[in-house]
Structure 1
Amino acid sequence: MSVPVAAPPPLADSPRRWWALAALTLSVLIIALDGTVITVALPTLSGELGADSAQLQWINGGYLLALSVAMLPVGLLGDRYGHKRVLVGGITLFGLASLAGTQADSPGQLIAVRTVLGLAAAMIMPVSMAVLPRVFGAAELPKAIGVWTAATAVGMPVGPLVGGWLLNHFWWGSVFLFNVPVVVLALAASVWLLPSDRTRQRTEPAPFDTVGTVLSALGITALVYGTILVPDDGWGSPKVLGGVVGGAALLAVFGWWQRRYAHPLVDLRLFADPRFRWGTLIAVFVNFALMGIMFVVPQYLQEVLGHDAFGTGLRILPLIGGLMAAATLGETLVPRLGARVVVAAGLLVFAAGTLAGAATGSGDGYSYAALWLTLTGFGFGLAVVPATSLVMASLPAERSGRGTSLLETVQQVGGVLGVAGLGSLLSAGYLARLSTGGLHGQDAAAARDSVSGAGAVAARLGDPGLLDSAHRAFVHGMSLALLVCAAIALAAAVLAALLLPGKAADAAASEAVSDAQAPAAREVAISAADNGQSLA
């Protein structure tokens, strides 16, 4: 009896694999853009649609909740019915929901549209990552993951940039219409270039884990909802505490159920592999810190340094440039030094970048910010790309969707907690240093509410002292947040150095990636034969 030999994907030596990566990158880029583009449109929506503050919160929060809740069941559906099918369905739904958004004429309709967009995003994010090992060989997979990660990162600062430009030139619905041509391009490229799902086994599927789905949905909803309320209500609010504690309790019950049920929504056995366990934990730590940075830094660039939304988006690009440079360098370093050394070194560089940012003074200009943003992005890329590659290498082909969904879900929740936690620390640091002597009533409340409010009051009263105090106070709060990011990165670096597999295990991981790609190779070959195309 012959043993089948693992074959690399048929696209391994074809330039078409990069076009396939472009399709996947476009799909996640538009998701990242849509996640933040709405932020600059909220004041316009308030005026045009008459949305109150609670409705505005749900226009933004509905997307985030749907995205967080739906990723776990979507991963299971992708493994059962085909990653390409789910991905194409998600891209199509995203485009249709975007078109519907341009026609919304009430806050309720817009909340519904944003919720559907979040659901579509949940269909795209984890499944597009699960497709990567079916297109790229083990040697090029880290570079592909780096490009994919950069697409998700670049969309966050560029979203407000795009949204601001569109609102300056067109009506508010243009922030939704902008998605449509990109969706059409991503959809056509995905249908044409990505491996087919035709050869998946057509055996009777196992029962769907309805109880696990409900428990995970309720737990994540409560946790994310409670966290969303933190900026307005504070950590001591009964709503916040009830959401966070209740969500954590429900997720604990969910974990208990997953261990007991024969066909669980989440395969907890994945955590038995140290590559998955520690790679996921490190990725969550770094994502927590990065999301906090992405919340703090744009405010610094806009409110303290005085750049508009477009200029702010441009000035965050050094972070992305550092990430891309690290992804390229990591591709050569990991085979030589091993993921343990490279990830730990990347986390140390990340910590150095955030420590440099914490030393920012209120009088420092953008050149200093560009320096530490580049360093931070470089450290992030050097750490997260090999860590993600380790996670991908640990996933069996038949469970890759569930694995990437679990990774993306915990990263998403970690990011939400990062924004809430570090945002609260920023606010506390700001209030601790702000001087509002001489201000009363609404002026004092506006100044204490935010640095932008203090700037507006200072401009109206002609009070440069208040503006200087607000800038100094904000920089102090930002420094506290960045110090916490540095501490998290240092703790993750220690974990990486002690617990990640060494160089010998990395070689075994590469072999595992090739083994996992063998079924994908057969799928693509059969698909090519069916379509009369040669993908080699």
Structure 2
Amino acid sequence: MSTPTPTTPPRVPEAVHRRRWAILGVLMLSLLIVVLDNSILNVAIKTISTPEPTGLGATQGELEWAINSYTLVFAGLLFTAGLFGDRLGRKKVLLAGLVVFGIGSALAAHSGSPVHLIAFRALMGLGAAFVMPATLAVLMNVFERDEQPKAIGIWAGGVGLAIAIGPITGGVLLDHFWWGSVFLINVPIVIIAVALMVWLVPDSRDPRPGRIDLVGVVLSVVGLVLLVYGIIKGGQLADFTDPAVLGTSLAGLAVLVAFVLYEKRCDHPSVDVSYFKNRVFSAAISAIALVFFALMGVTFFSVFYTQSVRGYSPLQTGLLMLPLAVAQLIFAPRARLVVDRFGVRAVCTGGLLLVMATLASFTTLDADTPIWVLEVIFFLMGTGMAHIMTPTSVVIMQALPREKAGSASALSNTFRQVGGALGIAVLGSVLSTAYRNGVEDKLTLLPAGARHTAGESIEATLGVAAKLGPRGEPLVTAANDSFLHAMHVTALWGAGVAAIGTVVVFLFLPGRTPPEPGPRERESEPANAVGR
């Protein structure tokens, strides 16, 4: 750490500064289970979709809700959770969130039906919402500004690591235990994290915290749930023009518009929409959302590709995703060095172009494509993600003064989670629609009442084929062919979304690293500081 000057006095107590890296380790452990939980579920979705006693017999729509009930509660409460941390103390909120998350994990592990699983996953999302923003807010309060980019880079690498090692952990557990073990594993980690946090992590709060915006929270959660429900329902029916689908989706959009209008007029908004007037800030937030849109959508359909089409076990599937983790571990902490040389715009544009190319390359995968091709795709996708997440996180977090770190973290993570939820809903529904359209005419040998259920997903079709014995063999071939076509269509949709993000980032992110704003500028003009 450089010797402080009169114009840049140290703001972190020396005792805290000395143990800052140990504190970062504890924060990353807390972050690990929150982020890992979604990715650990991805590798288990095929198992959960199988009938009892192996799984719960969940449909593809129920699987999407099992993921999104967590994500939507998480995203909808992040702003309020950040304000609770600012008001009550980040350490207290972290501890409470971890306890709720642990209880929800134990209950989810013993779910008796898909509906129970969806409900307990929502409880886990409630706990997680109070954990994630607090980790980044604490980080910003224990590191001086000159070390924040490095610390955020390590933090971002931890997010990527958690996303990628989740499938490996889930695969190991599913090879030896029942499906509920992918949730029960969280409980001992929570206990360890709580003990270390009590010992090491200092408390901090905003001296001037905002008021809780309950109306805004309700509007945002209701709007997102209605929108995502409409999208998923459209995929289940393979008909997005159905009146129920259109009505629900449009109602969700209307509620979200009402949310934005209310936040603009509210004197204590949970989301300060004025920050989005700054195009740099908005572009950075959009980039994070699009990265997770692509990632969550891809991991959802790639699990069915590796397990249902290629025949790999859950553990093998998890290991196949390891290159995604390796790339982020290598590049996320070093991305700031590339930004210093080439600027935020060039690095993020390049990262999104790489993500777009890897999504498009899924169209080359077939039932007998050499598996190393998939490994290369995952590695390049992780490389692209690392060069988006780190620089955009730094831009967002340094836009606000230190005392508002919880709000900045909430904004970043909300868009991350909303992007992931929409990725699963949109790409999952595109996958369902394309699959049903492809396999429908092959299901004529089934009774009329069984055709709709059999056409919902590749697992549903293969389940029916297994019951038919030798007569079902043509269905297996049809299911694999239809899924591959559906995966190719879905990947192109994802690539198209990434292309839009590339244009936004290229147009609006700064061409070089913005110069360091003065303390007075940061306190008085946080929104403008982003673009300097």
Return the alpha-carbon distance in structure 2 between the equivalents of residues 449 and 8 of structure 1.
57
Name whichever of 372-381 and 465-474 sits farther off.
465-474
Q: Tell me whether 1:212 sits opposite 2:216 in the alignment.
A: yes
Residue pair 1:142, 1:389 contacting (<8 A) in 2 also = yes
Residue pair 1:224, 1:413 contacting (<8 A) in 2 also = no
Residue of structure 2 in register with 1:23 after alignment: 26
Residue of structure 1 in register with 2:95 after alignment: 88
Give the one of 64, 76, 80 matched to 1:73. 80
Return the alpha-carbon distance in structure 2 between the equivalents of residues 154 and 271 of structure 1.
30
Give the one of 233, 241, 246 matched to 2:246. 241
Residue of structure 1 in register with 2:527 after alignment: none
Give the one of 466, 470, 477 matched to 1:461. 470
Residue of structure 1 in register with 2:529 after alignment: none
Residue of structure 2 in register with 1:281 after alignment: 286
Give the one of 100, 104, 109 matched to 1:97. 104
Cα offset for 1:167? 5.0
Return the alpha-carbon distance in structure 2 between the equivalents of residues 115 and 396 of structure 1.
32
Return the alpha-carbon distance in structure 2 between the equivalents of residues 245 and 439 of structure 1.
35
Return the alpha-carbon distance in structure 2 between the equivalents of residues 111 and 427 of structure 1.
20
Return the alpha-carbon distance in structure 2 between the equivalents of residues 246 and 219 of structure 1.
7
Return the alpha-carbon distance in structure 2 between the equivalents of residues 119 and 329 of structure 1.
33
Residue of structure 2 in register with 1:522 after alignment: none
Cα offset for 1:490? 2.5
Give the one of 469, 479, 482 matched to 1:470. 479
The one-letter code sitting in structure 2 at the alignment partner of 1:493 is: T
SS in 2 for 1:508: coil
Name whichever of 99-108 and 112-121 sits farther off.
99-108
Residue pair 1:287, 1:415 contacting (<8 A) in 2 also = yes
Cα offset for 1:120? 0.2
Residue of structure 1 in register with 2:495 after alignment: 486
SS in 1 for 2:516: helix
Structure 2: 5+ residue stretches without partners? 524-532
Residue of structure 1 in register with 2:430 after alignment: 425
Give the one of 330, 333, 345 matched to 1:325. 330
Q: 1:514 to 1:389 in 2, by over 3 A?
A: farther
Return the alpha-carbon distance in structure 2 between the equivalents of residues 477 and 107 of structure 1.
25
Q: 1:101 to 1:79 in 2, by over 3 A?
A: same
Residue of structure 1 in register with 2:406 after alignment: 401
Residue pair 1:435, 1:470 contacting (<8 A) in 2 also = no
Residue pair 1:130, 1:401 contacting (<8 A) in 2 also = yes
Return the alpha-carbon distance in structure 2 between the equivalents of residues 102 and 466 of structure 1.
33
SS in 2 for 1:449: coil
Cα offset for 1:456? 4.7
Q: Tell me whether 1:342 sits opposite 2:347 in the alignment.
A: yes
TM-score in terms of structure 1 length: 0.83
* Deviations, residues 323-347 of structure 1 (Å, cap 9, x unaligned): 2222133121111111111111111
SS in 1 for 2:455: helix
Return the alpha-carbon distance in structure 2 between the equivalents of residues 338 and 352 of structure 1.
22
Structure 1: 5+ residue stretches without partners? 517-536
Residue pair 2:160, 2:328 contacting (<8 A) in 1 also = no
Residue pair 1:434, 1:448 contacting (<8 A) in 2 also = yes
Q: 1:135 to 1:41 in 2, by over 3 A?
A: farther
Q: Tell me whether 1:226 sits opposite 2:230 in the alignment.
A: yes
Residue pair 1:44, 1:172 contacting (<8 A) in 2 also = no
Cα offset for 1:375? 0.9
Cα offset for 1:74? 1.0
Q: 1:332 to 1:252 in 2, by over 3 A?
A: same
Cα offset for 1:304? 1.8
Residue pair 1:40, 1:164 contacting (<8 A) in 2 also = no
Cα offset for 1:426? 2.4
Give the one of 14, 30, 35 matched to 1:32. 35
SS in 2 for 1:328: coil
Q: Tell me whether 1:498 sits opposite 2:498 in the alignment.
A: no
What's the C-alpha RMSD, in Å, of the aligned pairs? 3.6
TM-score in terms of structure 2 length: 0.83
Return the alpha-carbon distance in structure 2 between the equivalents of residues 175 and 513 of structure 1.
48
Cα offset for 1:217? 3.0
Cα offset for 1:108? 7.4
The one-letter code sitting in structure 2 at the alignment partner of 1:496 is: V
Give the one of 516, 527, 531 matched to 1:508. 516
The one-letter code sitting in structure 2 at the alignment partner of 1:481 is: T
Residue pair 1:339, 1:503 contacting (<8 A) in 2 also = yes
Give the one of 299, 318, 326 matched to 1:294. 299
The one-letter code sitting in structure 1 at the alignment partner of 2:227 is: L
Q: 1:238 to 1:366 in 2, by over 3 A?
A: same
Q: Tell me whether 1:353 sits opposite 2:358 in the alignment.
A: yes
How many equivalent pairs are there? 510
Q: Give identity over the alignment, percent.
A: 35
Residue pair 2:307, 2:314 contacting (<8 A) in 1 also = yes
Residue pair 2:165, 2:325 contacting (<8 A) in 1 also = no
Return the alpha-carbon distance in structure 1 between the equivalents of residues 434 and 280 of structure 2.
38
Return the alpha-carbon distance in structure 1 between the equivalents of residues 122 and 28 of structure 2.
22
Return the alpha-carbon distance in structure 2 between the equivalents of residues 155 and 430 of structure 1.
30
Cα offset for 1:415? 1.6
Q: 1:50 to 1:496 in 2, by over 3 A?
A: closer
Cα offset for 1:470? 3.3
Name whichever of 179-188 and 468-477 sits farther off.
468-477
The one-letter code sitting in structure 1 at the alignment partner of 2:87 is: R
Residue pair 1:337, 1:503 contacting (<8 A) in 2 also = yes
Q: 1:142 to 1:20 in 2, by over 3 A?
A: same
Name whichever of 234-243 and 478-487 sits farther off.
234-243
Residue of structure 2 in register with 1:187 after alignment: 194
Residue pair 2:154, 2:333 contacting (<8 A) in 1 also = no
Name whichever of 493-502 and 464-473 sits farther off.
464-473
Q: 1:92 to 1:515 in 2, by over 3 A?
A: farther
Give the one of 156, 159, 165 matched to 1:149. 156
* Deviations, residues 100-149 of structure 1 (Å, cap 9, x unaligned): 55677788776654332111011112222223322344455444434433
The one-letter code sitting in structure 1 at the alignment partner of 2:223 is: G
Residue of structure 2 in register with 1:251 after alignment: 256
Return the alpha-carbon distance in structure 1 between the equivalents of residues 56 and 463 of structure 2.
24
Q: 1:244 to 1:127 in 2, by over 3 A?
A: farther
Residue of structure 2 in register with 1:452 after alignment: 459
